Amino acid sequence: MENKSICVTENALDEILIEDIFDNKGNILIAKNAIMNKYSVELLSRLNIKEIYVYPSKEESRLSKNNNFPLIYKENILAMQKIARRLAAGKGVAPDDLGEMSKILSIEINKNSKMIGHTGRIKDTDEYTYNHSVNVAIYSVYIGRLLGLDDGRLRELCQAALLHDIGKAKVPKDILNKKGKLTKEEFSIVKKHTIDGYVLSKGMSFLTEEVREAILCHHEREDGSGYPYGIKGRKINLYAKILAITDVYDALTSERAYKKKSTPFDAIEEFYNMGINKFSRPILNIFLKNISQLYVNSKVILNDGRVGKIEFIPPKDLTFPIINIHGEYIDLSTNPSLKIIGIVE
């Protein structure tokens, strides 16, 4: 199906951009996959942009005789937006909420008896590790779809994500759930979970070697600073590159006994602080740019106690959204004393 073209002034609200919108200087004005609202419509109108291209719905694609349609539909992105908001608000995600976007994930969890046995082992080890593995799978499948992976590759990526921490079944619970900082010896024990996971995966005949390598290498880093082997760049396979990003993102945005969860915007900032050279820059840029847009229209709490709604997230300044509080637009980039401290579903 050809891209759906709509008039900005008439019916753009709640539509989702299928391509970046640029200003007259060539800078990205509104990012691909942004969900249009009143603020963004007014922004385009001020620049005299009268037509945009948006994702079709599944129904529109079914009605089309042309099969050349995007891999992602409007419904898929809205489903992921709902999931991302719930996770950011500290709430779980029911399998029924995963939507079409994560059909592969729900199939792996609910219908594959082999997977159930192994994911159950993770749950027996630690509830957080299990929930974390499911969240990492959600984010990883999301990235995989953005990268255009086919269903077979998405299924493998999902398997790698669900099982990436299975080696933690061999880490003592008192170390796994320790509230304080780990000692050097304790951290050495935790780091072994990648090799232990790989060994355990050898007993799962339904996994490909690429999936096993992702389980082994999800803590490797592009600059060679990771573990267990300190490999870098091209020696790290695609699934492991994706898991490296989604594993860290979910860990940052999840609450643990020893730390408070970060907001998605703090997590994005933390990626920059860690050094984006530690991760695959093209994949990280795609992920951060797209995941941030899912929080447009979210209700947020500021550090001064006020509650507002995210109206716009500048593509070149992802950590400083525009907030609407009772009709007043507040640009966080020009108000350094204000910051988002929480998302309300």
Q: What is the pLDDT of residues 286-335, one digit of tens each?
A: 999 999 999 999 999 999 999 999 999 999 999 999 999 999 999 999 99
Same-domain check for residues 163 and 262: yes
Say if 53 falls within a structural domain. Answer: yes
Say if 69 falls within a structural domain. Answer: no
Helix axes 127-146, 281-293, angle to 10 degrees: 100
Same-domain check for residues 204 and 310: no
Cβ contacts of 332 within 8 Å, gap of 6 or more: 319, 320, 321, 322, 323, 338, 339, 340
Q: Are 137 and 165 in contact (CB under 8 A)?
A: no
- In this predicted structure, the answer to whether residue 103 has a pLDDT above a threshold of 80 is no
pLDDT tens per residue, range 36-83: 999 999 998 888 888 888 988 877 766 555 544 445 678 888 888 888
Could you tell me the pTM of the whole model?
0.88
Same-domain check for residues 282 and 306: no
Task: Look up the CATH number of the domain holding residue 242.
Answer: 1.10.3210.10
Say if 158 falls within a structural domain. Answer: yes
Q: What percent of the chain lies above the pLDDT cut of 70?
A: 83
Task: Look up the CATH number of the domain holding residue 39.
Answer: 3.90.105.10
> At which of 18, 36, 63 does a domain end?
63
Say if 28 falls within a structural domain. Answer: yes
Q: Which domain holds residue 268?
A: 74-293
pLDDT tens per residue, range 189-215: 999 999 999 999 999 888 999 999 999
Same-domain check for residues 305 and 340: yes
> At which of 40, 63, 86 does a domain end?
63
Say if 332 falls within a structural domain. Answer: yes
Say if 68 falls within a structural domain. Answer: no
Same-domain check for residues 105 and 216: yes
The reported pLDDT for the residue numbered 127 is 75
How many structural domains compose the chain? 3
